């Protein structure tokens, strides 16, 4: 009995002590991860034991704990983006806690900037296997004041040019990314703001001459932007699928920082906008009037922001208001932006963020460009030369065009790093971009005798644009061996867009006291439009990294679109593969080489046909005096496929002594199956319709170079220089014999030429009779390429400097070479006999003896001013548009210490004064117009580089006061 009892007691003791015995065979590793230079905590650092397949992320204060680690010796790997990987050997003792504090050292500052290289992919610049242009907008806005996003980008991005089509406030923007070889897209990149895909094309609205409604990017406050990354071709954008052909622009707004105390900031801005250049009085007899009509536009702005953090939440709230008067009467813009960015980390493994923007903006635009009611046109072309009858100038200013914009953008992101599976990151992102726009245009009854419609006219248009996107990605980082790590990514992307508008026009209102469109006794027009489109894609990406030095990556995307297509498929589908490789070989070179990353990539993307190009016949409703019926609205091709773009890219990123950085990239793009419209045979009964076919092919290649130099770096002083240069060569190789014309048939897309080329006969000089008398211009027998509005060579250079810690200076210049602009204003002026230069030449010629050398010289000059259609007018009024512009200069002085010493208080965190100027000066050979960058037909389409009574872009001066507490 006693023996049995003893055995039972011993067994019970073993059961009770077993967990403790097992626990005694395990230990814990804990510590803190900090920046080795500043000592600041690094939240989100990865701490892994590859041998066991376990790991954790450091908390908001940099601390971490690895529990239940079996007894033994292990290598602990600690990594954080932008820092060198640290490996440490640790001995784990049974039942004890092993302290391991890790200090990570930053990599070379110039090359280790974190950039986005694909959907859900972030890499340091030194690791990147594609070329990415990135802008530190947050730092730039600390020293300079910017009117819009364009000002942030111009001259700072290799491979990309950005321009505004006119000087109107909120005017359209145009990106030219690399070769721009897609024929079927609008040539513009996808744009994401905080992960939300936004509309980038001009909204539906009434034109004012050639200018359509403005760019949605003009609704953003550039001061609220933290960073901009630009992916420039299919080699980088293939994971974004269809529509990523022309690049992807990723904009991230400012947010609060973890561990930051409550901060409140205010910025006040006062300034003015003026014209950049006077009209040339040697060409424009009314130059004085043209110059005088421009005004000094007032600029005023206010910004307030509150940011900080508490517990595991960081936040930033900001409101900005800006009033900008155009340099031309009746033009102005008012922008109101409210931003709320919040990020919370309720657990060590779960993060949620919300970024919201609410905008209420207002714009008015003057009548301009190709418009007989434009003031510039009236001044340039009216009396004393009698082109038009005398009219009351107030009638032109009375035409009222107003746009009211209400915009809501929302981005929500959920990130989960499950503790049970180290290295796994699950991310869900949702975005909404909703814009309601009201466009009102009123032609007062007071001037009914001047306007086309009598009795006054009202035009009203309401448009509603909605964009929604959802991204789901799962990324798993793991080690295959001690020398080989891997990253696997899988995900999906959904996108839906809808556009709706309704418009009406009425006239015979009778009195200007009534502005109700329903008061018009005559309904001139009424209509509506609705379009909806959805697309989806699934992605897969596999990356292998050897010895933390060599990287190999493969990816693929499968896309679907609801754009209509014939046959049994019902929708477009396509695969987009890509492959990338890079090698960091700086360790094999002398110590002076701080980084050398060699990279190569290949990728594929494409563009969809127009919405109904794949439908055989689309009918439109039509009303007439005989009732309501249908007309043929579109003839399509059910056998259409997608346009396909292939790109090969290669280059390297070099760092020298952590003071010099240089990047070089060569790219080669080829587009196949571009869609070209062909005229249908009359026998089909389709009338004046065209049918699309896949026949187009375009080729482009180019180089991009970026240079950064740290000239000086001390505690109180610094001087950094930057420069970039790009070259591109483009050719249309196949169009099935067709030619695509732009406005006035001056720009063409044609086989053997670069896209958008100016095309027409050359003027060889003057023709003379046998007796030496001038007969007219000697015009070539064939049309040839005369020039191109897109520059072949372009780039920029700038500096950022700090002196005595408190004085900061930033400047950026841009140059463009190898392109032309057509001076349509000067040509039209010549047509009506008002070109002073031509008139003087004609008068001079009349006083000379035919046959003399002087007579022939003047006659040749006169022949090159001939404006007649088909008489070489394109060649005569086409000028080189090469320019060098000082885009921006910013000076900022931090007077915080001075204020503290004067007032004896340190309650004011910061107190700074600033001055900024944009478009400060221009050097250009273009002199038949004031601005070589404008385009009368806006920022889209084949028509490019045509200056036709277009308002020049302004020069701006602003003073700012910033106060922070």
pLDDT band at 383 (very low <50, low <70, confident <90, very high): very low
pLDDT band at 312 (very low <50, low <70, confident <90, very high): confident
- Where is average pLDDT lowest: 678-687, 726-735, 842-851, 880-889? 678-687
Average pLDDT over residues 571-583: 90
- Where is average pLDDT lowest: 24-28, 104-108, 511-515, 826-830? 104-108
Tell me, yes or no, whether 45 lies in a domain: yes
Residue 957: name the closest of 271, 269, 168, 295 by CA. Answer: 271
For residue range 913-942, what is the model confidence (pLDDT) as tens digits?
999 999 999 999 999 999 999 998 877 788
Residues counted in the chain = 965
Q: What's CA 49's distance to the chain center, in Å?
A: 42
Neighbours of 583 (CB within 10 A): 18
Is residue 530 within 8 A of residue 577, CB to CB? The reply is no
Task: Give the Cα-Cα-Cα angle 799, 803, 806 (nearest 5 degrees).
Answer: 115
Is residue 634 within 8 A of residue 627, CB to CB? The reply is no
Tell me, yes or no, whether 446 lies in a domain: no
Residue 9 has pLDDT above 70, yes or no: no
Residues in contact with 824: Cβ distance below 8 Å, sequence separation at least 6, in sequence order: 744, 877, 936, 946, 947, 948, 949
The alpha carbons of the chain give a radius of gyration, in whole angstroms, of 32
Average pLDDT over residues 484-490: 95
Q: What's CA 693's distance to the chain center, in Å?
A: 30
Residue 404: name the closest of 328, 327, 460 by CA. Answer: 460
- Where is average pLDDT lowest: 389-403, 635-649, 657-671, 705-719? 389-403
Average pLDDT over residues 597-607: 93
For residue range 261-303, what is the model confidence (pLDDT) as tens digits?
899 999 999 999 999 999 988 888 888 988 999 999 999 999 9
pLDDT band at 402 (very low <50, low <70, confident <90, very high): very high
**CATH at residue 87:** 2.60.40.1120
Tell me, yes or no, whether 599 lies in a domain: no
Domain that holds residue 85: 20-104
SS3 sequence of 866-897: CCCCCCCHHHHCEEECCEEEEEEEEEEEECHH
Supply the DSSP symbol for 76. Answer: E
For residue range 870-882, what is the model confidence (pLDDT) as tens digits?
667 899 999 999 9
User: What is the pLDDT at residue 385?
Assistant: 45
User: What is the pLDDT at residue 127?
Assistant: 60
- Where is average pLDDT lowest: 368-377, 379-388, 692-701? 379-388
SS3 sequence of 468-527: EEEEEEEEEEEECCCCEEEEEEEEEEEEEEEEEEEEEEEECCCCCCCCCHHHCCEEEEEE
- Where is average pLDDT lowest: 1-5, 342-346, 679-683? 1-5
Residue 16 has pLDDT above 70, yes or no: no
User: What is the pLDDT at residue 591?
Assistant: 87
For residue range 58-95, what is the model confidence (pLDDT) as tens digits?
887 889 999 889 999 998 989 887 788 888 989 999 88
Average pLDDT over residues 884-890: 96
Residue 166 has pLDDT above 70, yes or no: yes
User: What is the pLDDT at residue 726?
Assistant: 98
Supply the DSSP symbol for 62. Answer: S
User: What is the pLDDT at residue 213?
Assistant: 67
User: What is the pLDDT at residue 410?
Assistant: 96
Distances (CA, A) of 217 to 41, 536, 770: 36, 25, 61
Average pLDDT value over all residues in the chain: 87
pLDDT band at 392 (very low <50, low <70, confident <90, very high): low
Average pLDDT over residues 590-608: 92
Query: DSSP alpha helices (H): ranges in 848-958?
Result: 853-863, 873-876, 896-903
pLDDT band at 538 (very low <50, low <70, confident <90, very high): very high
Structural domains counted in the chain: 1
Six token digits for residue 853: 């050398």
pTM recorded for the entire structure: 0.85
Neighbours of 641 (CB within 10 A): 16
Tell me, yes or no, whether 788 lies in a domain: no
């Amino acid at each position: 009995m006693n023996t049995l009892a003893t055995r039972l007691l011993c067994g019970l003791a073993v059961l009770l002590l077993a967990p403790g015995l097992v626990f005694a065979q395990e230990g814990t590793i804990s510590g803190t991860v900090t920046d080795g230079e500043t000592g600041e905590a690094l939240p989100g650092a990865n701490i892994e034991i590859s041998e066991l397949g376990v790991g954790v992320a450091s908390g908001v204060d940099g601390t971490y704990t690895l529990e239940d680690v079996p007894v033994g010796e292990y290598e602990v790997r600690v990594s954080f983006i932008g820092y060198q990987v640290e490996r440490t050997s640790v001995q784990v003792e049974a039942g004890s806690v092993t302290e391991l504090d890790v200090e990570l050292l930053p990599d070379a500052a110039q090359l280790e900037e974190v950039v986005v290289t694909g959907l859900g992919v972030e890499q340091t610049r030194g690791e990147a296997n594609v070329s990415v242009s990135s802008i530190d907008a947050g730092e730039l806005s600390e020293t300079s004041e910017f009117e819009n996003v364009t000002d942030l980008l111009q001259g700072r991005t290799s491979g990309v040019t950005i321009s505004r089509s006119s000087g109107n406030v909120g005017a359209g923007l145009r990106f030219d990314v690399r070769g721009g070889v897609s024929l079927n897209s609008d040539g513009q990149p996808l744009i994401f703001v905080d992960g939300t895909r936004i509309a980038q094309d001009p909204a539906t609205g009434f034109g004012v001459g050639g200018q359509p409604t403005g760019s949605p990017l003009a609704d953003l406050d550039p001061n609220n932007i933290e960073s901009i990354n630009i992916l420039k071709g299919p080699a980088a954008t293939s994971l974004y699928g269809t529509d990523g052909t022309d690049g992807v622009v990723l904009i991230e707004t400012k947010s609060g920082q973890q561990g930051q105390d409550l901060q409140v900031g205010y910025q006040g801005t006062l300034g003015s906008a003026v014209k950049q250049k006077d009209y040339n009085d040697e060409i424009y007899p009314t130059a004085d009037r043209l110059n005088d009509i421009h005004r000094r536009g007032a600029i005023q702005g206010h910004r307030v922001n509150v940011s900080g953090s508490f517990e595991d939440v960081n936040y930033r709230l900001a409101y900005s208001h800006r009033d900008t008067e155009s340099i031309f009467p009746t033009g102005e813009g008012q922008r109101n932006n409210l931003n709320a960015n919040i990020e919370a980390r309720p657990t060590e493994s779960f993060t949620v963020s919300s970024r919201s923007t609410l905008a209420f903006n207002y714009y008015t635009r003057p009548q301009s460009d190709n418009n007989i009611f434009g003031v510039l046109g009236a001044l340039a072309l009216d009396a004393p030369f009698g082109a038009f009858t005398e009219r009351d100038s107030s009638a032109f200013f009375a035409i009222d065009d107003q746009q009211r914009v209400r915009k809501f953008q929302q981005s929500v992101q959920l990130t989960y790093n499950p503790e049970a599976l180290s290295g796994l990151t699950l991310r869900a992102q949702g975005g909404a971009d909703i814009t309601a726009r009201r466009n009102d245009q009123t032609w007062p009854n007071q001037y009914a005798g001047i306007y086309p419609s009598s009795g006054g006219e009202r035009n009203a248009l309401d448009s509603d644009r909605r964009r929604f996107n959802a991204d789901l990605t799962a990324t798993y980082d793991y080690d295959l061996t001690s020398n080989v790590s891997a990253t696997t990514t899988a995900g999906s992307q959904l996108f839906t867009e809808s556009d709706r508008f309704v418009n009406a026009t009425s006239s015979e209102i009778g009195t200007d006291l009534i502005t109700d469109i329903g008061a018009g006794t005559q309904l001139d027009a009424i209509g509506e439009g609705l379009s909806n489109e959805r697309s989806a894609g699934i992605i897969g990406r596999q990356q292998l990294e050897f010895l933390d030095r060599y990287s190999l990556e493969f990816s693929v995307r499968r896309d679907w679109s609801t754009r209509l297509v014939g046959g049994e498929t019902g929708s477009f589908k396509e695969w987009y593969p890509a492959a990338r490789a890079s090698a960091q070989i700086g360790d094999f070179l002398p110590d002076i080489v701080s980084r050398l990353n060699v990279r190569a990539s290949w990728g594929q993307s494409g563009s969809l046909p127009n919405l109904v190009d794949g439908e055989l016949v689309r009918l439109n409703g039509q009303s007439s005096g005989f009732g309501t019926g249908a007309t043929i609205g579109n003839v399509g091709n059910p056998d259409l496929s997608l346009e396909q773009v292939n790109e090969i890219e290669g280059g390297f990123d070099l760092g020298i002594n952590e003071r010099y950085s240089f990047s070089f990239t060569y790219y080669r793009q080829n587009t196949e199956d571009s869609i070209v419209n062909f005229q249908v045979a009359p026998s089909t009964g389709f009338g004046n319709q065209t049918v699309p076919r896949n026949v187009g092919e375009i080729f482009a290649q180019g180089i991009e170079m970026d240079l950064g130099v740290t000239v000086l770096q001390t505690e109180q002083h610094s001087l950094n220089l930057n420069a970039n240069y790009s070259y591109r060569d483009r050719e249309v190789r196949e169009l099935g014999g067709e030619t695509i014309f732009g406005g006035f048939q001056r720009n063409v897309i044609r086989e053997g030429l670069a896209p958008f080329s100016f095309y027409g006969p050359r003027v060889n000089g003057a023709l003379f009779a046998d007796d030496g008398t001038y007969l007219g211009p000697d015009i070539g027998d064939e049309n040839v390429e005369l020039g191109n509005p897109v520059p072949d060579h372009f780039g920029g250079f700038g500096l950022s400097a700090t002196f005595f810690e408190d004085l900061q200076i930033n400047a950026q210049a841009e140059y463009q070479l190898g392109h032309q602009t057509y001076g349509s204003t000067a040509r039209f002026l010549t047509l009506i006999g008002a070109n002073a230069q031509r008139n003087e030449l004609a008068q001079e010629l009349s006083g000379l003896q035919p046959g003399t050398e002087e007579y022939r010289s003047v006659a040749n000059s006169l022949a090159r001013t001939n404006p007649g259609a088909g008489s070489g007018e394109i060649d005569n009024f086409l000028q080189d548009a090469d320019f060098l512009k000082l885009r921006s200069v910013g000076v900022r002085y931090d007077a915080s210490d001075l204020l503290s010493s004067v007032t004896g208080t340190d309650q004011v965190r910061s107190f700074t004064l600033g001055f900024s100027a944009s478009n400060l000066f221009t050097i250009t050979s273009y002199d038949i117009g004031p601005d070589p960058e404008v385009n009368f037909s806006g920022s889209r389409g084949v028509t490019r580089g045509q200056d036709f009574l277009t308002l020049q872009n302004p020069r701006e001066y602003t003073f700012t006061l910033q106060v922070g507490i």
